[in-house]
Chains A and B, each alone.
Chain A
Amino acid sequence: MQRDDVMKKEVETPIAALPAVKKRYTKRAFYIAIGALAAIAGIGLFAIYFFTMNMVFGGMGVVLFFSGGFTFYYFWNKDDSTGFVIESLGAPPKEQVNSLCIYEHVVKFDNIANPEGWPSTCHNDNKKYYVYIWDKVTEKLIPFILPDQQYYEPEVFAQRVLALPAHRKLFTRKPKLFQKLKTAMLVLAIAIVMLLILTTTGGS
């Protein structure tokens, strides 16, 4: 049986074969733009400070530049949402449903008539749902039961196998002298520029 046929049988709803559509304007994009604008405004205020020597402009410039820069950096790196609406799966149900159905090619919330088993709490909305899985043998939805046979504990896998604390320490490269002194050199550069400003502008 072809994959599409299986999917059709599993879901039993017509599939609108539309491509995934990316959402253009997200909250993340808004905060990135605000951060960038604030940082640019900060530079502008700092430039005004150098003309007027008014500390209010200088202080506001520094605060705006760093807070804007941080906002930009934070949201640029924050990628929580896929930003995609998978239209080929059909629109998600808007009303409250009673079950979560796990098929081989799709996971969806759905209404099941006369549900069996015991409902489980979904922590995303704190509502209870019956959880079903598609049984390939009987070609029916059956109550989902987690397996008792185990490969490996997630805690032990993370902390012993992936983290490898002893090996990590052993293999970590030691920073070079330049890398160690990077921060000190930057502070020194700032002091030199400060001196340059004071001597060339007469401290005004």
Chain B
Amino acid sequence: MATEKKTQLYFRDAGSFEFIKRPLKYSCMVQEENGQLIRAWKHFYSNQIPFAGYKNISADTVTLGFARDIILDPFNKVPTGLLPSEKPTKTDTGIKKWISQVAENQRHTYRTQIKSSFKEDAINWALIGTLILMMIGWLIRYATG
């Protein structure tokens, strides 16, 4: 299954910005390197803003994000609460409780996942392809004598 991507209007630490396509995983926009999660920003549908496109940047709904935080909601569109589908209150307890809810969700996600390696799958599919080709060739050859 293809990894779904959405556009993030990402502000770097120095204040410069870029429109960048990020994969969506675990309800977050993520930055990955060699299959490892490096950074992640919470993605909310209610916090997306349409963007018409400009020069080589394609049109999409964009989510604002920046280097220092997982949520950037300047218009307060996301409701506040303790559920992972809400944003936490900006208090120590609120954030801790919200983070523990997200982590609990992840535990359940990992429990249901089956380990699968892309490399192993690619080798197996290449072998299956070779086998099918050999069978087709052999059948043609055998049938035509």
Chain B residues, Cβ within 8 Å of A144: 74
Chain B residues, Cβ within 8 Å of A163: 36-37
Q: CB-defined interface of A123-145 with B at 8 Å, one 1/0 digit per residue?
A: 11100000101001000000010
Of chain B, the residue at the smallest CB distance from A83 is B58
Whether a CB of chain B sits under 8 angstroms from the CB of A59 is: no
A84, B51: Cβ atoms closer than 8 Å: no
How far, in whole Å, are A136 and B50 apart by their CA atoms in the complex? 18
B137, A47: Cβ atoms closer than 8 Å: yes
Of chain B, the residue at the smallest CB distance from A88 is B50
Contacts known (A168-B110, A171-B111); A146 close to B68, Cβ less than 8 A: yes
A106, B51: Cβ atoms closer than 8 Å: yes
Hey, which bits of chain B sit against chain A, CB under 8 A?
A: 1-5, 7, 9, 11-12, 15-19, 21, 25-26, 28, 30-31, 36-42, 49-60, 62, 64, 66-72, 74-75, 77, 87-88, 90, 95, 99, 102-103, 106-107, 110-111, 113-115, 120, 123-124, 126-131, 133-138, 140-142, 144
Q: List 17 A-B contacts (CB under 8 A).
A: A43-B136, A50-B141, A69-B129, A79-B4, A81-B58, A84-B59, A84-B60, A107-B50, A108-B54, A125-B55, A125-B56, A154-B39, A154-B69, A155-B38, A159-B38, A163-B36, A164-B103
How far, in whole Å, are A168 and B145 apart by their CA atoms in the complex? 56
How far, in whole Å, are A66 and B50 apart by their CA atoms in the complex? 40
Hey, which bits of chain A sit against chain B, CB under 8 A?
A: 43, 46-47, 49-51, 61-62, 65-66, 69, 76-82, 84-86, 89-93, 97, 100, 102-109, 118, 120-125, 131, 133, 136, 144, 146-147, 149-155, 157-159, 161-164, 167-168, 171-173, 175, 182-183, 186-187, 189-190, 193-194, 196-197, 200-201
Chain B residues, Cβ within 8 Å of A120: 11, 15-17
**B contact patch SS:** mixed
Minimum distance in angstroms from A195 CB to a CB of chain B: 11
With A106-B49, A146-B66, A158-B28 already in contact, 13 other A-B pairs whose C-beta atoms are closer than 8 Å: A46-B137, A79-B2, A82-B58, A86-B50, A105-B50, A121-B16, A122-B18, A124-B57, A152-B70, A154-B70, A161-B102, A161-B106, A190-B131
